[in-house]
Amino acid sequence: MSRKKTAKGKSSNSGPTAKGKDSGKSGKGTPGTEALSNGVVHPSRPSLSNSGEFYDLAFKVMLVGDSGVGKTCLLVRFKDGAFLAGSFISTVGIDFRNKVLSIDGVKVKLQIWDTAGQERFRSVTHAYYRDAHALLLLYDVTNKTSFDNIQAWLTEIHEYAQQDVVLMLLGNKADSTHQRVVRREEGEKLAKEFGVPFMETSAKSGLNVDLAFTAAAKELKHRSLKELSEPKFQLQEYVNKEMTKATSCCGS
């Protein structure tokens, strides 16, 4: 697979109404789609994504965090199961890609927005926050500044995102044992302080990548279908149960 910003970085993708190149349309306006005001598609009428897959529910998930923390790589790992090695090309603006997951028998389409971490694109990404149902906030365990900036990101999120947005903190590049400067316990402590579910991930080895998106999708599905008969879905408990801890060894 070619290095990322073949899809991103296109000027046509940098405006708030732009669509990603291989992205399906959001539920809104798609034939056969009954889009609700919150962007969720009604489960009684499954819709068809651009990739030809039917889905019952659709949600927007946004990846945010400093430049270079691995947002694009995380998305590519989740979507294509591959790691984008090689020289780092920063994202310009914003792009999205779709993936349909099967969550407890319900087809959930995630429209995942990959944002530019660079400060100069902040005003572009601000425009997207309000539509996001979930935010995955990343830092890089090999970059202390990206960790120190989490508080500022949370302030930004509180300012621009919906109050009930599903939020998760991810410490990425957990495979980089020798370069690590942020301990897992520090990430856990910060997340606890802000009441946010937390896990470490690696786009390189694949550690917890599927789990991060699946956990968000489960929480969104649970909320959307208001499964009152069932006990409330506990996101952090689910993550703790399913999470693989980064060990001294790393993947590929």
Ligand X SMILES: Nc1nc2c(ncn2[C@@H]2O[C@H](COP(=O)(O)OP(=O)(O)OP(=O)(O)O)[C@@H](O)[C@H]2O)c(=O)[nH]1
User: Which residues lie near ligand X (CB under 6 A)?
Assistant: 4, 67-73, 84-85, 88, 90-91, 116-118, 172-173, 175-176, 202-204
> Cβ 93 to ligand X, closest distance in Å?
10
Nearest to 97 by CA among 28, 24, 39: 24
Nearest to 153 by CA among 170, 174, 141: 170
d(CA 68, CA 144): 12
* Sign (positive or negative) of CA dihedral 225, 228, 229, 233: positive
> Cβ 157 to ligand X, closest distance in Å?
16
Please, is 156 exposed, middle or buried when counting C-beta atoms within 10 Å of its C-beta (0-12, 13-18, 19+)? middle
> Cβ 187 to ligand X, closest distance in Å?
14
Nearest to 1 by CA among 118, 119, 115, 81: 81
Residue (47 or 142) nearer to ligand X, CB:
142
> Cβ 248 to ligand X, closest distance in Å?
15
> Cβ 24 to ligand X, closest distance in Å?
21
> Cβ 9 to ligand X, closest distance in Å?
9
Task: Please calculate the CA angle 15-50-10 and round it to the nearest 5 degrees.
Answer: 30
Residue (56 or 175) nearer to ligand X, CB:
175
Residue (59 or 139) nearer to ligand X, CB:
139
Residue (59 or 113) nearer to ligand X, CB:
113
Counting Cα atoms < 13 Å in the Cβ hemisphere of 220 gives 33
d(CA 214, CA 223): 14
Residue (55 or 147) nearer to ligand X, CB:
147
> Cβ 91 to ligand X, closest distance in Å?
3
61 is written with which tokens? 């998930």
d(CA 202, CA 11): 29
Three-state helix/strand/coil letters over 96-139: EEEEEEEECCEEEEEEEEEECCCHHHHHHHHHHHCCCCEEEEEE
Residue (60 or 204) nearer to ligand X, CB:
204
Residue (58 or 209) nearer to ligand X, CB:
209
d(CA 144, CA 40): 37
